[in-house]
A and B are shown apart, each in its own frame.
Chain A
Amino acid sequence: DAGVTQSPTHLIKTRGQQVTLRCSPKSGHDTVSWYQQALGQGPQFIFQYYEEEERQRGNFPDRFSGHQFPNYSSELNVNALLLGDSALYLCASSGGSGGFKEETQYFGPGTRLLVL
């Protein structure tokens, strides 16, 4: 049973560019959350997708957007990249079986983005 997968593993972009990161949830999960982890800090919640809609959003600008597909996979898009967007972007999946398991989030390995 594959866990949460993310692609690409590493990415280098320049300021002003746009980037798309991808996530496939753990088998049986229907909810995907995205987090940004800057160097030396804990992860910060960006947003969560459920039933192909953004269900909750953290304190991130509109440059950060996402999408969830019918197969529950998800994309994170960041426009007009800034140097400060350099971070590890983590995807977490949850849900699919109700009860407490819906609240347990399993994380992927992350995509490390460097903005020059």
Chain B
Amino acid sequence: GEDVEQSLFLSVREGDSSVINCTYTDSSSTYLYWYKQEPGAGLQLLTYIFSNMDMKQDQRLTVLLNKKDKHLSLRIADTQTGDSAIYFCAEMSDSWGKLQFGAGTQVVVTP
């Protein structure tokens, strides 16, 4: 079956690094995504990684993928107050485009 799990809450001080973790169960996952949702808004695509990659860096964002453990993480360097939001991990296991989401991790950045 398909299941994506995330920790529910993360508190981080402004300027520190944030690490959000995600585990998935579908070994056939081809693409893995991180989306950001601010209050009252839709989902903003942050970054993605192919299943044949181990790491991807995009400015302040670093994605790490451990395929053996089916573990995905998102690191945000120099976290800012504007990074406060809910972050969703999602997997796509087929080419038709069905995304399976986790429940989201609420990140709160304190001054």
Contact = CB atoms under 8 A, between A and B. Distances in A.
Interface of A: 4, 31, 33, 35, 40-45, 48, 55-56, 58, 90, 92, 94-95, 100, 102-110
B97 A94 contact: yes
B53 interface: no
Contact of B96 (A55, A104, A106): A55
B98 A42 contact: no
Interface in B17-64: 30-31, 35, 41-45, 48, 50
Interface of B: 4, 30-31, 35, 41-45, 48, 50, 88, 90, 92, 95-104
Nearest to B4: A42
Contacts of B45: 104-107
A103 B92 contact: yes
Contacts of B31: 100, 103
A56 B50 CA distance: 22
B103 A107 contact: no
B42 A45 contact: no
B42 A105 contact: no
B110 to A, nearest CB: 22
A42 B45 CA distance: 14
Contact of A43 (B41, B43, B50, B92): B43
A108 B102 contact: no
Given A90-B43, A106-B45, A45 B96 contact: no
Given A107-B44, A108-B42, A56 B96 contact: yes
Contact of A109 (B35, B42, B92, B98): B42
B103 to A, nearest CB: 5
Contact of B101 (A42, A106, A110): A42
A48 B97 CA distance: 8
- Which of B90, B99, B102, B104 has the most A CB atoms < 10 Å from its CB? B99
